[in-house]
Amino acid sequence: MDNGQWARRGRQVRPCAAGLLLAAIISGCASYEGIEPQGEMVSLNQLSALQAVGDVTISSANWPDRRWWNVLGDPHLESLIQEALADSPDMDVAQARLRSANAAAEQAGAERLPTVKGSAKISRSRVSEVNDPRGQGNIYSTTRGLSSSFSYDVDLWGGQRAAWSAALGEARATEIDLHEAALTLSVNVARAYVQLAGDYALLDIARQELERARTIAQTNLQLQQAGLSDQSALLQSRSSVSTARQSLEAAEQAVRSDRISLGVLLGKGPDRGFDIERPRSLSPALLSLPSVVPAELVGRRPDVVAARWRVEAQTQQIKAAKAKFYPNLNLSAMAGFSSRLGSYFFSEPAKSWNVSPALSLPIFEGGRLRANLDSTEADYDLAVAQYNQTVISALGTVADTITSVESLDHQREVLEKARDDAQQAFDLALERFQAGITNYLQVLSAQQQLFSAQQSLVTLNSRLVDTSIQLVQALGGGFHDGLNVPHLSGGYPHAPNPQATGKSRPHQADS
């Protein structure tokens, strides 16, 4: 066989050899066979609350507004909530976490880009007689160097992009966590404000009750001194005075505690709460409810939306973990000048360069890659389970709070009737006393029944307003995520790449 035939045979063998080499490389890769996620996102069609809220009138509009607190009827609450959003350490914590998540997303994005470095050096040295092979020594030399290097990991399998998408998803979820923190803080401020208003009303009743008890005790003292009553009635009335004093002190302490709690929520310390003026009488936050609660909750509650983004982030993490099972290609290059003579530094002999493509292949990793993938898919299952838990818990909270508001509203109607009856009984007893038909003790007894009815009504109304605020929170507090992240009944959700936005602190009013 002549040289031409050998050359032709060589050209035929090379592609076959290259194909065999590539097949051997791929077959030598570590395998992730048998490792699959188990979690499935709950289907919203399986969740129903029709029986739980079947007696509640439901409409398809008017979710909580972003300034939902305005329906409570006290404009001073607006300034308190904005103060809390600006100064509370809770918001600082959420903001710091968002900055960290954004930085992680930027770092993951930087991993996809080439690395270019430059270096310049100069060194002066003296060779001693001992180190000089010629035995002369006392030789001085100067070395100069200038170079640049380039390195790039080729993302053959999309692992780096998946890791970047996962970091963006986590950043998006953390941004929504910031809105959740703002909602929670504003709700806590409103609830504390409602508590303060209710305790002030109870304090007024406690003062009136103490005055009534003192009047009864004074009347009994006069009757006892006139010989018209015995010692027992006087002792009982004095005991009532002591009990009323204790109730008044408890009511005053409740107001003080409410003010301290508000000061802490505002991020200013306890003394800030004592500068807050007395709240007005607040009304429940009246809301209309959606016709399909489970589906609407997915986009209306920040915790649910954040949980969905974390599922998507874990989906991308699985892709990144699987990419590590495949070969990796790295391209690197260097070019520069190096010379001991300054005049020859940029000359042709001083030039140096190299290009180094490198292919790495995971053949035996001792199970590290499989363990990493297994852990990543377990994290995905955890994210799915947490999403399912959040959705089901959210629906349960909404249903329970809706029925509580409805029940408390009915109870308020009953107590208002009881209060009106007690008021009529007191007015009648007062008229009979003024007409000389009965004594003043019967008037005071009727007044005590009126105070009791008023106290029960104030307590119930505070619960109703507080529960209506909790319903606002359960329905998302005016939050609405504009990104469309489709919900699938099972498997991986697919969402557009999130953007690491929201670097400035959102106010609840315009979030």
What CA–CA distance (Å, rounded) separates 313 from 326? 21
Question: Which residue from 450, 451, 459, 448 is spatially nearest to 412, judged by alpha carbons?
Answer: 459
More confident residue, 226 or 333: 333
Question: Band of the pLDDT at 330, cuts 50, 70, 90?
Answer: confident
More confident residue, 473 or 134: 473
What CA–CA distance (Å, rounded) separates 219 from 433? 14
Tell me, what CATH number does 202's domain have? 1.20.1600.10
Asked if 130 and 246 sit in the same domain, the reply is: no
The answer on pLDDT for 414 being more than 90 is yes
Asked if 172 and 288 sit in the same domain, the reply is: yes
**Mean pLDDT (whole number) for 454-460:** 91
Asked if 108 and 120 sit in the same domain, the reply is: no
Asked if 353 and 431 sit in the same domain, the reply is: no
Question: Band of the pLDDT at 439, cuts 50, 70, 90?
Answer: confident
Residue 337 lies in a domain: yes
* pLDDT (0 to 100) of residue 45: 64
Report percent pLDDT > 90 for the chain. 21
Asked if 45 and 142 sit in the same domain, the reply is: no
* pLDDT (0 to 100) of residue 345: 66
Residue 3 lies in a domain: no
**Mean pLDDT (whole number) for 213-239:** 80
Asked if 349 and 403 sit in the same domain, the reply is: no
Domain that holds residue 146: 115-154+328-361
Residue 489 lies in a domain: no
Residue that finishes a domain, picked among 310, 344, 361: 361
More confident residue, 4 or 101: 101
Question: Band of the pLDDT at 325, cuts 50, 70, 90?
Answer: confident
Question: Which residue from 196, 206, 203, 204 is spatially nearest to 282, judged by alpha carbons?
Answer: 196
What CA–CA distance (Å, rounded) separates 366 from 200? 69
The answer on pLDDT for 499 being more than 50 is no
* pLDDT (0 to 100) of residue 55: 54
Question: 214-228, 339-353, 430-444: which has the minimum mean pLDDT?
Answer: 339-353
* pLDDT (0 to 100) of residue 397: 86
CB 115 within 8 A of CB 148: no
More confident residue, 493 or 72: 72
CB 98 within 8 A of CB 502: yes
* pLDDT (0 to 100) of residue 338: 78
The answer on pLDDT for 405 being more than 90 is no
Residue 454 lies in a domain: yes
Q: What's the mean pLDDT when you consider all of the chain? A: 78
Tell me the pLDDT tens digit for each residue of 461-495. 999 989 988 988 888 887 766 544 433 333 333 33
What CA–CA distance (Å, rounded) separates 108 from 3? 54
More confident residue, 2 or 432: 432
> Which residues make Cβ contacts (< 8 Å) with residue 13, sequence separation at least 6?
none
* pLDDT (0 to 100) of residue 293: 63
Tokens 């995971």 -> residue = 362
Largest Cα separation within the chain, whole Å, is 148
Question: 42-51, 106-115, 186-195, 456-465: which has the minimum mean pLDDT?
Answer: 42-51
Question: Band of the pLDDT at 39, cuts 50, 70, 90?
Answer: confident
**Mean pLDDT (whole number) for 141-155:** 84
Q: Is the pTM of this model over 0.85?
A: no
Q: What is the CA radius of gyration of the chain?
A: 39
More confident residue, 45 or 97: 97
* pLDDT (0 to 100) of residue 13: 44
Output the CA torsion sign for 453, 459, 465, 467: negative
Q: How far is CA 27 from CA 34, 294, 326, 362, in A?
A: 17, 48, 10, 11
Question: Band of the pLDDT at 295, cuts 50, 70, 90?
Answer: low
Asked if 318 and 334 sit in the same domain, the reply is: no
Question: Band of the pLDDT at 506, cuts 50, 70, 90?
Answer: very low
By CB atoms closer than 10 A (0-12, 13-18, 19+), residue 374 is middle
Residue 256 lies in a domain: yes
> Which residues make Cβ contacts (< 8 Å) with residue 82, sequence separation at least 6?
507, 508, 509
Residue 355 lies in a domain: yes
The answer on pLDDT for 349 being more than 90 is no
DSSP line for 418-468: HHHHHHHHHHHHHHHHHTTSS-HHHHHHHHHHHHHHHHHHHHHHHHHHHHH
Q: How many domains does the chain have?
A: 2
Residue 483 lies in a domain: no
Asked if 340 and 443 sit in the same domain, the reply is: no
Beta-carbon count within 10 A of 371 CB? 12
Tokens 């990104």 -> residue = 483
**Mean pLDDT (whole number) for 263-280:** 91
Tell me, what CATH number does 354's domain have? 2.20.200.10
Question: 123-137, 230-244, 270-284: which has the minimum mean pLDDT?
Answer: 123-137
Residue 346 lies in a domain: yes
Asked if 269 and 145 sit in the same domain, the reply is: no
End-to-end CA distance of the chain: 82
Asked if 314 and 341 sit in the same domain, the reply is: no
* pLDDT (0 to 100) of residue 135: 67
Asked if 259 and 397 sit in the same domain, the reply is: yes
* pLDDT (0 to 100) of residue 410: 87
More confident residue, 361 or 206: 206
Asked if 354 and 335 sit in the same domain, the reply is: yes
What CA–CA distance (Å, rounded) separates 311 from 326? 24
